[in-house]
Structure 1
Amino acid sequence: MVRQDENTKSVRFPEAVDERLTLLARKLGRTKREVVMQMVDYFYKSKKDPADLNDEVLKKELASGISRILSFIRKQEGDMLVPMYSAMEELMAIAKMQSPLLKSIGKGQSEATIMGRETIGYLKLVDGTLKKILGNMRERETLKSRFRQVLDYYITQREALGWPVSAAKKEELAGRARQSLDNL
Protein backbone atom coordinates (compact mmCIF):
# COMPACT_ATOMS: atom_id res chain seq x y z
CA MET A 1 0.00 0.00 0.00
CA VAL A 2 1.29 3.35 -0.95
CA ARG A 3 1.05 5.93 1.68
CA GLN A 4 0.07 9.40 0.58
CA ASP A 5 1.90 12.28 2.14
CA GLU A 6 -0.44 15.01 3.33
CA ASN A 7 2.37 17.55 3.32
CA THR A 8 2.21 18.45 -0.34
CA LYS A 9 2.39 22.22 -0.09
CA SER A 10 5.49 24.28 0.44
CA VAL A 11 6.16 27.94 1.15
CA ARG A 12 9.25 29.77 0.03
CA PHE A 13 10.68 32.57 2.13
CA PRO A 14 14.03 34.35 2.56
CA GLU A 15 16.84 32.90 4.62
CA ALA A 16 16.63 35.68 7.27
CA VAL A 17 13.02 34.67 7.95
CA ASP A 18 14.12 31.03 8.15
CA GLU A 19 16.69 31.96 10.81
CA ARG A 20 14.06 33.75 12.88
CA LEU A 21 11.65 30.82 12.42
CA THR A 22 14.34 28.39 13.56
CA LEU A 23 15.08 30.49 16.67
CA LEU A 24 11.38 30.73 17.46
CA ALA A 25 10.87 26.98 17.01
CA ARG A 26 13.81 26.19 19.31
CA LYS A 27 12.57 28.64 21.90
CA LEU A 28 9.09 27.08 21.85
CA GLY A 29 10.45 23.52 21.68
CA ARG A 30 8.63 22.62 18.47
CA THR A 31 9.46 21.92 14.88
CA LYS A 32 9.34 24.68 12.27
CA ARG A 33 6.43 22.91 10.59
CA GLU A 34 4.42 22.86 13.89
CA VAL A 35 5.16 26.53 14.54
CA VAL A 36 3.99 27.54 11.05
CA MET A 37 0.80 25.45 11.36
CA GLN A 38 0.06 26.92 14.81
CA MET A 39 0.66 30.47 13.53
CA VAL A 40 -1.79 29.93 10.70
CA ASP A 41 -4.39 28.51 13.13
CA TYR A 42 -3.85 31.43 15.53
CA PHE A 43 -4.31 34.11 12.89
CA TYR A 44 -7.25 32.28 11.35
CA LYS A 45 -9.10 31.88 14.67
CA SER A 46 -8.27 35.29 16.13
CA LYS A 47 -8.92 37.07 12.83
CA LYS A 48 -5.91 39.23 13.48
CA ASP A 49 -3.93 40.72 10.66
CA PRO A 50 -0.28 39.62 10.96
CA ALA A 51 0.79 42.85 9.24
CA ASP A 52 -0.95 44.87 12.02
CA LEU A 53 1.75 44.60 14.68
CA ASN A 54 0.20 47.13 17.10
CA ASP A 55 -3.31 45.64 16.85
CA GLU A 56 -4.76 48.83 15.37
CA VAL A 57 -7.85 47.01 14.13
CA LEU A 58 -8.44 45.57 17.60
CA LYS A 59 -7.98 49.01 19.14
CA LYS A 60 -10.52 50.47 16.71
CA GLU A 61 -13.00 47.71 17.53
CA LEU A 62 -12.51 48.29 21.26
CA ALA A 63 -12.94 52.04 20.82
CA SER A 64 -16.08 51.45 18.78
CA GLY A 65 -17.43 49.10 21.48
CA ILE A 66 -16.64 51.62 24.20
CA SER A 67 -18.36 54.35 22.17
CA ARG A 68 -21.47 52.18 21.82
CA ILE A 69 -21.46 51.46 25.57
CA LEU A 70 -21.09 55.17 26.38
CA SER A 71 -23.86 56.02 23.94
CA PHE A 72 -26.10 53.43 25.60
CA ILE A 73 -25.30 54.83 29.06
CA ARG A 74 -26.08 58.38 27.89
CA LYS A 75 -29.36 57.20 26.41
CA GLN A 76 -30.27 55.42 29.66
CA GLU A 77 -29.29 58.52 31.60
CA GLY A 78 -31.64 60.62 29.49
CA ASP A 79 -34.44 58.05 29.66
CA MET A 80 -34.18 57.00 33.30
CA LEU A 81 -31.90 59.10 35.47
CA VAL A 82 -33.17 62.54 34.48
CA PRO A 83 -36.83 61.66 35.27
CA MET A 84 -35.70 60.05 38.52
CA TYR A 85 -33.77 63.18 39.51
CA SER A 86 -36.75 65.41 38.73
CA ALA A 87 -39.05 63.12 40.73
CA MET A 88 -36.57 63.24 43.61
CA GLU A 89 -36.54 67.04 43.46
CA GLU A 90 -40.35 67.09 43.62
CA LEU A 91 -40.31 64.71 46.58
CA MET A 92 -37.72 66.86 48.35
CA ALA A 93 -39.88 69.96 47.80
CA ILE A 94 -42.92 68.15 49.22
CA ALA A 95 -40.87 66.95 52.19
CA LYS A 96 -39.65 70.50 52.86
CA MET A 97 -43.22 71.80 52.72
CA GLN A 98 -44.43 69.14 55.13
CA SER A 99 -41.50 69.49 57.50
CA PRO A 100 -43.07 72.29 59.63
CA LEU A 101 -46.30 70.31 59.84
CA LEU A 102 -44.45 67.22 60.99
CA LYS A 103 -42.49 69.28 63.52
CA SER A 104 -45.70 70.74 64.96
CA ILE A 105 -47.25 67.28 65.14
CA GLY A 106 -44.14 66.00 66.92
CA LYS A 107 -44.22 68.96 69.31
CA GLY A 108 -47.91 68.32 70.04
CA GLN A 109 -47.20 64.67 70.69
CA SER A 110 -44.34 65.47 73.04
CA GLU A 111 -46.52 67.99 74.90
CA ALA A 112 -49.31 65.41 75.13
CA THR A 113 -46.82 62.88 76.48
CA ILE A 114 -45.61 65.34 79.11
CA MET A 115 -49.19 66.20 80.09
CA GLY A 116 -50.01 62.50 80.28
CA ARG A 117 -47.08 61.90 82.62
CA GLU A 118 -48.10 64.85 84.79
CA THR A 119 -51.69 63.57 84.90
CA ILE A 120 -50.47 60.13 85.92
CA GLY A 121 -48.42 61.75 88.69
CA TYR A 122 -51.44 63.72 89.92
CA LEU A 123 -53.63 60.62 89.77
CA LYS A 124 -51.08 58.67 91.81
CA LEU A 125 -51.07 61.50 94.36
CA VAL A 126 -54.89 61.51 94.50
CA ASP A 127 -54.87 57.72 94.81
CA GLY A 128 -52.48 57.92 97.76
CA THR A 129 -54.59 60.62 99.41
CA LEU A 130 -57.79 58.59 98.93
CA LYS A 131 -56.11 55.53 100.41
CA LYS A 132 -55.07 57.58 103.44
CA ILE A 133 -58.60 58.95 103.84
CA LEU A 134 -60.07 55.46 103.55
CA GLY A 135 -57.57 54.19 106.12
CA ASN A 136 -58.43 57.07 108.44
CA MET A 137 -62.15 56.36 108.01
CA ARG A 138 -61.61 52.71 108.92
CA GLU A 139 -59.54 53.76 111.90
CA ARG A 140 -62.27 56.21 112.92
CA GLU A 141 -64.91 53.48 112.70
CA THR A 142 -62.71 51.19 114.79
CA LEU A 143 -62.24 53.92 117.40
CA LYS A 144 -65.99 54.61 117.47
CA SER A 145 -66.69 50.91 117.94
CA ARG A 146 -64.22 50.65 120.83
CA PHE A 147 -65.46 53.84 122.41
CA ARG A 148 -69.04 52.52 122.17
CA GLN A 149 -67.90 49.36 123.97
CA VAL A 150 -66.26 51.47 126.69
CA LEU A 151 -69.40 53.63 126.98
CA ASP A 152 -71.69 50.61 127.11
CA TYR A 153 -69.47 49.06 129.78
CA TYR A 154 -69.57 52.34 131.75
CA ILE A 155 -73.36 52.51 131.49
CA THR A 156 -73.76 48.89 132.60
CA GLN A 157 -71.41 49.37 135.52
CA ARG A 158 -73.11 52.61 136.56
CA GLU A 159 -76.47 50.92 136.65
CA ALA A 160 -75.00 48.06 138.57
CA LEU A 161 -73.78 50.52 141.19
CA GLY A 162 -77.30 51.98 141.43
CA TRP A 163 -77.02 55.74 141.29
CA PRO A 164 -80.16 57.42 142.51
CA VAL A 165 -81.20 59.04 139.22
CA SER A 166 -84.45 58.32 137.37
CA ALA A 167 -84.38 55.72 134.58
CA ALA A 168 -85.63 58.20 131.96
CA LYS A 169 -82.75 60.58 132.69
CA LYS A 170 -80.30 57.67 132.55
CA GLU A 171 -81.64 56.61 129.15
CA GLU A 172 -81.60 60.20 127.90
CA LEU A 173 -77.98 60.62 129.02
CA ALA A 174 -76.95 57.31 127.43
CA GLY A 175 -78.80 58.21 124.18
CA ARG A 176 -77.11 61.62 123.98
CA ALA A 177 -73.70 60.03 124.60
CA ARG A 178 -74.33 57.47 121.84
CA GLN A 179 -75.57 60.21 119.46
CA SER A 180 -72.49 62.34 120.19
CA LEU A 181 -70.31 59.31 119.50
CA ASP A 182 -72.04 58.68 116.16
CA ASN A 183 -71.59 62.33 115.19
CA LEU A 184 -67.81 62.11 115.60
Structure 2
Amino acid sequence: MEPNKEKDKQVLISVDLFSDFERMAESYGLTKKGLLEAMILYFKATKADPRNPKTDNPTDAIKALDKRLVSFIRQQENDLLRPINDDIKLLIQLVSQELPKTLRQGQIKTIGGALKPEFQTDRFRTVYEELIKKSN
Protein backbone atom coordinates (compact mmCIF):
# COMPACT_ATOMS: atom_id res chain seq x y z
CA MET A 1 0.00 0.00 0.00
CA GLU A 2 1.34 3.42 -0.95
CA PRO A 3 1.71 5.79 2.07
CA ASN A 4 0.47 8.99 0.28
CA LYS A 5 -2.49 7.49 -1.54
CA GLU A 6 -5.85 8.86 -0.35
CA LYS A 7 -8.62 6.45 0.44
CA ASP A 8 -12.00 7.34 -0.99
CA LYS A 9 -15.02 6.65 1.20
CA GLN A 10 -18.64 6.41 0.20
CA VAL A 11 -21.54 8.25 1.78
CA LEU A 12 -25.09 6.97 1.30
CA ILE A 13 -27.95 9.48 1.10
CA SER A 14 -31.53 9.34 -0.14
CA VAL A 15 -32.22 9.72 -3.86
CA ASP A 16 -34.18 12.97 -3.34
CA LEU A 17 -31.37 14.59 -1.39
CA PHE A 18 -28.74 13.32 -3.80
CA SER A 19 -30.39 15.16 -6.71
CA ASP A 20 -30.48 18.32 -4.58
CA PHE A 21 -26.82 17.70 -3.70
CA GLU A 22 -25.88 17.36 -7.39
CA ARG A 23 -27.73 20.60 -8.28
CA MET A 24 -26.07 22.41 -5.40
CA ALA A 25 -22.61 21.23 -6.43
CA GLU A 26 -23.28 22.36 -9.98
CA SER A 27 -24.58 25.76 -8.86
CA TYR A 28 -21.37 26.36 -6.87
CA GLY A 29 -19.18 25.02 -9.66
CA LEU A 30 -17.84 22.23 -7.47
CA THR A 31 -17.55 18.52 -7.79
CA LYS A 32 -19.69 16.45 -5.44
CA LYS A 33 -16.57 15.63 -3.44
CA GLY A 34 -15.58 19.31 -3.36
CA LEU A 35 -19.03 20.36 -2.17
CA LEU A 36 -19.05 17.76 0.60
CA GLU A 37 -15.60 18.86 1.76
CA ALA A 38 -16.68 22.53 1.65
CA MET A 39 -19.80 21.71 3.69
CA ILE A 40 -17.73 19.94 6.33
CA LEU A 41 -15.31 22.87 6.57
CA TYR A 42 -18.22 25.34 6.71
CA PHE A 43 -19.94 23.55 9.60
CA LYS A 44 -16.62 23.15 11.37
CA ALA A 45 -15.76 26.85 11.01
CA THR A 46 -19.20 28.30 11.80
CA LYS A 47 -20.14 25.71 14.43
CA ALA A 48 -23.61 25.81 12.89
CA ASP A 49 -25.84 22.84 13.66
CA PRO A 50 -26.65 21.07 10.37
CA ARG A 51 -29.57 19.26 12.06
CA ASN A 52 -31.42 22.56 12.39
CA PRO A 53 -31.87 23.96 8.87
CA LYS A 54 -34.17 26.70 10.20
CA THR A 55 -31.35 28.48 12.03
CA ASP A 56 -30.70 32.09 11.20
CA ASN A 57 -28.45 32.88 8.32
CA PRO A 58 -25.22 34.32 9.80
CA THR A 59 -25.31 37.11 7.23
CA ASP A 60 -28.83 38.09 8.32
CA ALA A 61 -27.76 37.99 11.96
CA ILE A 62 -24.82 40.29 11.21
CA LYS A 63 -27.08 42.70 9.30
CA ALA A 64 -29.54 42.77 12.21
CA LEU A 65 -26.71 43.43 14.66
CA ASP A 66 -25.40 46.17 12.39
CA LYS A 67 -28.83 47.83 12.32
CA ARG A 68 -29.07 47.62 16.11
CA LEU A 69 -25.59 49.11 16.50
CA VAL A 70 -26.33 51.99 14.12
CA SER A 71 -29.62 52.61 15.92
CA PHE A 72 -27.82 52.66 19.28
CA ILE A 73 -25.21 55.12 17.98
CA ARG A 74 -27.90 57.41 16.58
CA GLN A 75 -29.76 57.32 19.88
CA GLN A 76 -26.55 58.18 21.75
CA GLU A 77 -25.97 61.01 19.32
CA ASN A 78 -29.43 62.43 20.04
CA ASP A 79 -29.38 61.81 23.79
CA LEU A 80 -25.77 62.67 24.60
CA LEU A 81 -23.58 64.01 21.83
CA ARG A 82 -25.81 66.76 20.48
CA PRO A 83 -26.65 68.16 23.95
CA ILE A 84 -22.95 68.08 24.85
CA ASN A 85 -22.11 69.83 21.58
CA ASP A 86 -24.77 72.47 22.28
CA ASP A 87 -23.43 72.96 25.82
CA ILE A 88 -19.88 73.36 24.54
CA LYS A 89 -21.00 75.93 21.95
CA LEU A 90 -22.85 77.86 24.67
CA LEU A 91 -19.83 77.69 26.98
CA ILE A 92 -17.55 78.93 24.22
CA GLN A 93 -19.95 81.77 23.49
CA LEU A 94 -20.13 82.72 27.18
CA VAL A 95 -16.38 82.49 27.68
CA SER A 96 -15.64 84.43 24.54
CA GLN A 97 -18.19 87.22 24.89
CA GLU A 98 -19.60 87.73 28.36
CA LEU A 99 -17.49 86.03 30.99
CA PRO A 100 -14.39 88.25 30.66
CA LYS A 101 -16.53 91.01 32.20
CA THR A 102 -17.42 89.02 35.32
CA LEU A 103 -14.62 86.52 35.84
CA ARG A 104 -11.66 87.08 38.04
CA GLN A 105 -8.27 87.33 36.42
CA GLY A 106 -7.18 83.87 37.59
CA GLN A 107 -10.27 82.27 36.10
CA ILE A 108 -9.73 83.98 32.75
CA LYS A 109 -6.12 82.76 32.71
CA THR A 110 -7.22 79.20 33.46
CA ILE A 111 -10.01 79.18 30.87
CA GLY A 112 -7.86 80.93 28.26
CA GLY A 113 -5.07 78.43 28.76
CA ALA A 114 -7.49 75.52 28.39
CA LEU A 115 -9.36 76.71 25.30
CA LYS A 116 -7.81 76.20 21.92
CA PRO A 117 -7.15 79.50 20.12
CA GLU A 118 -9.64 78.68 17.36
CA PHE A 119 -12.41 78.67 19.98
CA GLN A 120 -11.47 82.07 21.38
CA THR A 121 -12.88 85.30 20.00
CA ASP A 122 -10.58 88.25 19.41
CA ARG A 123 -12.05 90.06 22.42
CA PHE A 124 -11.44 87.15 24.79
CA ARG A 125 -7.92 86.57 23.40
CA THR A 126 -7.09 90.27 23.93
CA VAL A 127 -8.22 90.17 27.57
CA TYR A 128 -6.38 86.89 28.14
CA GLU A 129 -3.13 88.12 26.58
CA GLU A 130 -3.24 91.36 28.60
CA LEU A 131 -3.58 89.35 31.81
CA ILE A 132 -0.68 87.12 30.84
CA LYS A 133 1.50 90.19 30.10
CA LYS A 134 0.60 91.74 33.48
CA SER A 135 1.50 88.58 35.39
CA ASN A 136 4.94 88.30 33.69
Structure-1-length-normalised TM-score: 0.35
Structure-2-length-normalised TM-score: 0.44
The structure that has the greater radius of gyration is 1
Which protein is richer in helix relative to its size? 1
